[in-house]
Structure 1
């Protein structure tokens, strides 16, 4: 298991790196690959549907998630999920428990098509794995402790990603 190291949970990475920085890191890995002509599958284009659609959808999903948090008057801070005062299950949260992370993955998909390198797909996958194990799963434990059965019921109705 990725978060296990000889039977001890690797907690030192949990909630340490802000998710936008994780996303930026993985986009930069794809950009470095592109600059070195590694895994290039197409020429970069500033605008086409494969770049614009995931980018704009990602922005929309993130904005809707933040808007629901602000409307509920609870924290958006991914580093301190213990500050959550309300379990948000309305709006975009009816479809995914993690809209901001879904939006970031959509940004990575957009960057992959913009840069035109297969490494972008690997970066997108690696980002999803990292976010799941070091951000989302630890958040879920905290939120379950905060909101108990209400969160357990919510988890049974709504998927982690999509």
Structure 2
């Protein structure tokens, strides 16, 4: 059960968000109210990007689950700008949460989470996609960056 949960990026998002919030409590820094509002905007933007990417994948009839073989190479919608828009959305959401919770010290978890996602999920997913779609994925990878 724990191994199965560890394979789900949202579980890791919750863990990194919890660590960031705890760090924000341990190292309280002043935060202007406008930045808390910006945090809410970032949370909404992250959720919106996540939904857009998931709907794009659903329309292409392919999985959003990490580790599963994709049925289609998705290059439209937010995938025109990022090869990993859902993971990018996770980072935007995490940054927004740290600001909305007035825990700016917790922003250090954002680059740490990006590195974790890349090593734990993205590199493996890229290998699976490359094996499944070969030259088509190589062309896409040359045109679209991993993050933005």
Asked if TM exceeds 0.5, the reply is yes
| Counterparts of residues 1-150 of structure 1 (less than 5 Å) | 16-36=6-26, 38-42=27-31, 48=37, 50-78=38-66, 80-82=67-69, 84-150=70-136
Number of matched pairs:
145
String of CA shifts for 1:98-138, please: whole Å, max 9, x gaps.
11111110111101112233432211111000001111011
Q: CA deviation at 1:44?
A: 7.4
Distance 1:138 1:91 in 2: 23
Distance 1:99 1:25 in 2: 20
Task: Check whether the contact 2:62–2:72 (CA below 8 A) recurs between aligned residues.
Answer: yes
TM-score by length of 2: 0.88
Q: Which residue of 2 aligns with 1:161?
A: 147
Give the gaps of 5 or more residues in structure 2. none
User: Following TM superposition, where does structure 1 have runs of at least 4 consecutive aligned residues deviating by more than 6 angstroms?
Assistant: none
String of CA shifts for 1:54-107, please: whole Å, max 9, x gaps.
1111111101110011001111111x232x110010111111111111111011
Q: CA deviation at 1:39?
A: 4.5
Give the gaps of 5 or more residues in structure 1. 1-12
Summarize the Cα distance change of 1:118–1:51 in structure 2 as closer, same or farther, 3 Å threshold: closer
Task: Check whether the contact 2:24–2:104 (CA below 8 A) recurs between aligned residues.
Answer: no
